Amino acid sequence: MSPPESAQRLWWKEGTAYQIYPASFKDSNGDGLGDIPGIPSKVDYLKELGVDIVWVSPMFESPQVDMGYDISNYEAVYAPYGTLEDMQALIDACHERGMKLILDLVINHTSAEHAWFKESRSSKDNPKRDWYIWKPARYAADGTRLPPTNWRSYFSGGTWEWDAHTQEYYLHLFAKEMPDLNWENEETRKAIYDSSMRFWLDRGVDGFRVDCVNMYSKRAEFKDAPVVNADVYEQPGWSEYANGPRMHEFLREMNEQVLGRYDAMTVGELPHTPDPKHVLQYVGLGDRQLSMVFQFDIVDIGQGASDKYRFQSWRLPQLKQTVARWQQFVEGTDGWTTAFCENHDQGRSVSRFASDAPADRAHSAKLLALMLAAMSGTLFIYQGQEIGMINVPANWPIDEYRDIETVNFFRTASAAAEATLSGDPAALQAEIDYVRRSIQILGRDNARTPMEWDASSPAAGFTDRPAGGWMRVHDLYPEINVARQQQEPDSVLAFGKAVLRLRKQHADLFIYGDFRLFDPDTNDTFVFAKTATTTTAAAANLLNFSATDQTVDLPAVGGSLQFLMGNYADAVEVDEAQQAAQPLGRPRTLRPLGGPAVSRLIVRVYPVRQHVVAARHKTGDTTTYNGCLHATTR
């Protein structure tokens, strides 16, 4: 990212953010549910990890249809999580340690239990009727009542719910208990700004992760979505409600009236926006809409084209080219980007992008940490990612899943399979197995199992309740937990701390540097370089995705090559031997993980010019990794 625009130093650019899912982070009172008072007990842990920004997912008053994304009162805390006083104590605890705190801003919709919606649905002439989106029914030629559009809900079924009392439909892009607000109404917007933003900013909150940030401006025509699956009535309708005509106007107004007056950070959830030029319209510093966005092409890899939970195999060039596109789109502009591969809506990155096999999972987690730390933008870590937590086991029954999206999809997909394949038991079972496997890879509950603090029963130190937590803890918590890794110098946790220190130490290179992909079409290796725009620093990241040794050329940048990091125990010695035998720019051999070897992080910090080298190796269903970090000086 070329100066001067993107090189402007701002706290939210250089900070490392850590997302907390309250229900699953830490239970303080033994009821089996994570809560707000449990978080301050771990703030020092986060500080030691290298976290600068704590992001707390929804903790507002809510019926919990969608784990708090259905908010019934923006100005209150969900009682089982705690109180306003508990939230203030958490804000203060973060600030006392020099950390910021941001909250989720869920303002595309509310809960149907919100006082605003109760008034809106009470009668057609209620002053708040237009605060939500109401439409009359359509009717088929035979008189059958039809919803206003054929849009499909993100949680299966349609997006319109019939209200018998007022004889109209209301819009809900998500669950029927989550009606969409009408942003076209100025009074609605003012109420949103006061209740969901000013209320918390005045209490010291430093910003927001903005949910569904491009869905507020629905197109006025409310047209049917294009038919992509002729077997069902409901169709993906995002072309009719995402990135609507007034979307940028609304965000500018939100900043002018509220956010810009507090120096607040915003990171928008921005789905359905594949054009980098369009994304830039949201994140230009001068336009003052959003600080940055989560662009989801990377975490969407492997998802089905029309149904998220229909896993599709993918090849390495897809990942490489996706990373390159969203690293490079802000270069030379005043825009900003993010680096992430996990959140509360995704499967665990080790399981999705690497290997969670017992011999490989720690090395996989280290590799992904090294890869992310070399990427430009604000880095986001999701709870448990720092210790390499993995997806739930494939043998968990479907009734262990709690997520409404997952449960609804499985019910719908199973019913469809029964209807079409009941005459072929083998095909029916194969379809059900495929759906379950897809959920096991992509399901949101993979990220929502309780945090694994130690090896104690019944729930890995997450709760003291004898019956365990609100959700089953991962079976592998005795092996993957914070306490164990705190005692191991070569653990994933230790690796993560070192990588974050290195990233901050060389911010010009890793946070602000330009990205260049060297091998976009190869299926075995992933080679990219980072170059600083204000110094002569450079880095090269080499990843081996094959089952055998791969020889790669380090990009020629001049100067002498110096080793910094490696995840083999003997990485330093091996690299020194290679350097003695080969001059700068000649090939380096990236080894597969063999025999009893264990990957480790070894750090030597050298001034100015750096090269990152990492490798991944895959053998059948087993994937293993190695990696090392080099530096050159000029």
Q: In this structure, is the dihedral angle defined by the CA atoms of residues 35, 46, 198 and 213, taken in order, positive or negative?
A: negative
Q: How many residues does the chain have?
A: 634
State which amino acid sits at residue 435.
Answer: V
Pair of tokens at residue 298: 């990377």
In one-letter notation, the amino acid at residue 503 is R
* CA-closest candidate to residue 321, choices 521, 511, 510: 521
From 550, 536, 522, 555, select the one nearest 630 (Cα to Cα). 555
Among residues 189, 196, 190, the alpha carbon closest in space to that of 211 is found at: 196
75 belongs to the catalytic site? no
Q: Residues 15, 339: contact at Cβ < 8 Å?
A: no
Please report how many Cα atoms fall inside a 13 Å half-sphere around the Cα of residue 188, on the Cβ side: 23
3-state secondary structure of 57: coil
- Contact (CB, 8 A) for 510 and 376: yes
192-196: long-range contacts (C-beta < 8 A, 24 or more apart)? 192/107, 193/254, 193/257, 193/258, 195/74, 195/75, 196/71, 196/74, 196/105, 196/106, 196/107
Q: State how far the Cα of 499 lies from the Cα of 379, in Å rounded to an integer.
A: 12
- Give the whole-angstrom CA distance, residue 270 versus residue 290: 11
**403 assigned to active site:** no
- 408 three-class SS: helix
Q: Which helix (H) or strand (E) holds 120?
A: helix 115-120
Pairing of strands 138-139, 145-146: antiparallel
**What are the structure tokens assigned to 582, written together?**
């080969």
Catalytic one of 70, 161, 269, 445: 269
Q: How far apart are CA 160 and CA 122, in angstroms?
A: 17
DSSP E strand boundaries for 72-178: 73-77, 100-105, 134-135, 138-139, 145-146, 160-163, 168-171
Q: How many helices (H) and strands (E) does the chain have?
A: 19, 23
Structure token pair of residue 545: 């995705």
Whole-number Å distance between alpha carbons of 614 and 628: 5
Residue of 66, 211, 345, 405 with catalytic role: 211
Tell me how far apart the alpha carbons of residues 247 and 253 are, in angstroms, rounded to a whole number.
10
**Residues 100, 91: Cα–Cα separation, whole Å:** 8
Adjacent-strand bridge partners of 590 = 550
What positions carry a catalytic annotation?
Answer: 211, 269
